[in-house]
Amino acid sequence: MKEGDELFNQAMIYRVYGYVGIEKYELALADIKKMKKGFVDKTTQYNKFLSKGILRMDHEDYLMASKFF
């Protein structure tokens, strides 16, 4: 399995779901960056915005967080 393969991207999607589920948002975002751009599904896009928003809230940057939500 190589980075950019369809199987690689599918595995990354499930790992992103897992990271979001256990509140490891930095790791979820790092995995999303590794994925091939054309393969990111709608749920992964949602997890990306959710993770970014939560991380902004953790840094008390509420205006920027609201843009992701």
Domain positions in the chain are 6-68
Q: What are the C-alpha distances in Å from 32 to residues 44, 60, 67?
A: 8, 23, 19
Give the pLDDT confidence of 46-68 residue by residue, as tens digits: 989 999 999 999 989 999 999 98
Q: Which stretches within the chain are classed as H helix? A: 6-21, 25-34, 42-58, 62-68
Query: Band of the pLDDT at 41, cuts 50, 70, 90?
Result: confident
Instruction: Give the three-class secondary structure for 38.
Output: helix
Query: Band of the pLDDT at 4, cuts 50, 70, 90?
Result: low
Determine the Cα–Cα distance for residues 23 and 69; give it in Å rounded to an integer.
Answer: 16
